[in-house]
Chain A
């Protein structure tokens, strides 16, 4: 018993947490990240690596089944921690820590749960979206992935005129939703119930498998609640549909009560971009600046921001990495009705955001924020044809307007 106890106590120091952020609950998530750091806990990128499932806020009717599926995918020992507000974070983590150590409980859990992974089936219960809400963020079983690359040039192939989305509707009418593999009305299934990939011409005109990958709503450094269902070939996104989970629920947004919080939110988006670009040290700096802002420590925040900006401007590799990503020129801005503040590439937008944060911290009044928001509905047009890595950076580089959703606007490709 002594050894088991010792091992679990050791493990408790490096627990990995999968964070589910209910739209609008970013304050809770930031507090959670802060508390995790104090305990030495880290963020898990997927359910496979997670020990604790932390749900920030109260999940709505669409998010709840996804959270349950992520829970199913966790290897165990697994602990769920719900935190409805920033104040609840600390006690929720304390309880999670106690439960994590309870080896007997985890043994029972391991025996009682399903022993094999499976793909849940069930009637679709929300039909007002083109895509169903149940894309478990980075769910593992949403992939019909056994095609690999097939670069044989089949002369006279007719497979290129498949419309995946027609298939999707077909699925919907059948009333059966195979979790995350829409787009395959009447296709072949593998024994596991995973639909096999279909072919399509890639950008070079070669036959290549088309996979369907939902990005979000639970994905690290991804806007909370946003779901972008991509059709990809290799890692090139050839088309996508966008939606917001639980778009009907309003009113649970964290209040932006003072300028410091707004600055913190912007700082958080800079951190996400830096983290996705793989600049770990710079992301850590952005995070520290953000936490100073949250605690209202303006002096320390200002200092941290100055140093971060200097380091960012020095890093020519970062500039090289972000230059040319999602370039929006005047024509694009006019077409999508965006403000001048959204122009340029990812690097320009990041520098502007940092300037804005610094202006807010120093008390200099900056331009009204509403002007620079990008409506989420235009995302599929902006990101079409990008590689997945570029897409993630592109999405992180724009300031998405996720609140106050007009439900009438549905984006159809």
Chain B
């Protein structure tokens, strides 16, 4: 089961992968803006992306008194780049850019990197609201990261491999992992919203601290930071497909099309959730993370392990 059924394609295809990821991010931005406009009873909102880009590109960059500029910029740019590194290990049907034998761990590594990136963005501006935003993200991270790690482990145990392609092909002629690992799937989605600083997990960027870690960002710095969040959300949605949703499995359409469709659906759900679910404040979520999510996912892993051993 360890030899995966995916073909590693040449690095030039990274351009296509990057474009697809950007396309998903555009979809997320547009859907969010459209839903937002509708909630406010205003029309339109569906063509907002070019306008937002134009506004931020026309804006001047600014800095603050005694800002730690290097670290501040590293945070923003890192957010932008991170998601592209994630998609390198996600197979699109039969093809993948990098068939790492530790693909799942690679994904996890990048998502842990977000801790540093958001913190640096909050720290670098030399501003109290930003700094508080950074603290909040770390507090959220403490609560969601461990459950997320255990959630990533579950499909890997079932497939007997950390290779993403192998995890996907293990579900080809079997039930999808989401069916018998629903807890892991839900916690995985929570983790995705966590490292994308999205929706209920956007406390680090919340209104009550005037934008938090992003409070002092303007122009292109704001653009890359927030684009990075959407890209992470898209990458997280895409990674759920090989992990839990059977990869390219599906009738009629080719495998790559199924991967894209499933990604879109997961992404749309995540975007929609933002408007429906209030902020989970770090102080309150901490107890949920440690007393509910963590035990639940450990039990899930145990069940998966027993089943894997029993199946041989």
Q: Using a CB–CB distance below 8 Å, which chain A residues touch chain B?
A: 6-8, 10-16, 37-38, 40, 45-46, 48-49, 51, 73, 75-77, 110, 116-119, 137-138, 140-143, 145-146, 148, 190-194, 211-213, 219-221, 232, 234-235, 275-282, 284-285, 287-288, 315, 317-318, 320-321, 387-390, 392-393
Cα(A285)–Cα(B222), bound, Å: 28
**Contacting residues, chain A, for B51 (C-beta < 8 A):** 10-14, 40
Question: Is B276 a contact partner of A281 (Cβ separation < 8 A)?
Answer: yes
Question: Is A389 a contact partner of B203 (Cβ separation < 8 A)?
Answer: yes
**Contacting residues, chain A, for B283 (C-beta < 8 A):** 387, 389-390
**Contacting residues, chain A, for B128 (C-beta < 8 A):** 142-143, 145, 211-213, 232
Question: Is B65 a contact partner of A119 (Cβ separation < 8 A)?
Answer: yes
**Contacting residues, chain A, for B6 (C-beta < 8 A):** none
Q: Which of B64-96 contact A (CB under 8 A)?
A: 64-66, 68
Question: Is B58 a contact partner of A77 (Cβ separation < 8 A)?
Answer: yes
Cα(A235)–Cα(B15), bound, Å: 42
**Contacting residues, chain A, for B277 (C-beta < 8 A):** 278-279, 317
Number of A-B pairs, beta carbon distance below 8 Å: 197
Chain B: interface size category: 35 or more
Q: Using a CB–CB distance below 8 Å, which chain B residues touch chain A?
A: 36-37, 39-42, 44-45, 48, 50-55, 57-66, 68, 123, 125-132, 135-136, 200, 202-203, 206-211, 215-219, 222, 274-284
**Contacting residues, chain A, for B275 (C-beta < 8 A):** 280-281
Question: Is A275 a contact partner of B55 (Cβ separation < 8 A)?
Answer: no
Cα(A317)–Cα(B280), bound, Å: 8
**Contacting residues, chain A, for B207 (C-beta < 8 A):** 45, 220-221, 275-276, 278
Question: Is B218 a contact partner of A48 (Cβ separation < 8 A)?
Answer: yes
Partner of B218, one of A40, A49, A390: A49
Question: Is B54 a contact partner of A284 (Cβ separation < 8 A)?
Answer: no
Question: Is A321 a contact partner of B129 (Cβ separation < 8 A)?
Answer: no
**Contacting residues, chain B, for A46 (C-beta < 8 A):** 129, 210-211, 215-216
Min CB–CB distance A319 → chain B (angstroms): 10
Q: Which 10 A-B pairs have the closest CB atoms?
A: A278-B279, A192-B66, A11-B55, A10-B54, A392-B208, A284-B39, A143-B128, A141-B65, A75-B218, A279-B278
Cα(A4)–Cα(B305), bound, Å: 60
Question: Is A145 a contact partner of B44 (Cβ separation < 8 A)?
Answer: no
CB contact under 8 A between A191 and B64, given known A10-B50, A45-B215, A284-B40: no
Partner of B60, one of A7, A110, A280: A110
**Contacting residues, chain A, for B203 (C-beta < 8 A):** 278, 389
**Contacting residues, chain A, for B66 (C-beta < 8 A):** 190-194
Partner of B42, one of A12, A38, A211: A38
Cα(A16)–Cα(B55), bound, Å: 9
Min CB–CB distance B202 → chain A (angstroms): 7
Question: Is B52 a contact partner of A148 (Cβ separation < 8 A)?
Answer: no
Min CB–CB distance A150 → chain B (angstroms): 13
Question: Is B206 a contact partner of A140 (Cβ separation < 8 A)?
Answer: no
> 23 interchain pairs (CB within 8 A)?
A10-B53, A14-B55, A37-B42, A40-B42, A117-B65, A118-B65, A140-B125, A141-B64, A142-B127, A145-B130, A192-B126, A211-B128, A219-B210, A220-B207, A232-B128, A277-B279, A278-B279, A282-B278, A284-B36, A284-B41, A288-B40, A317-B200, A318-B278
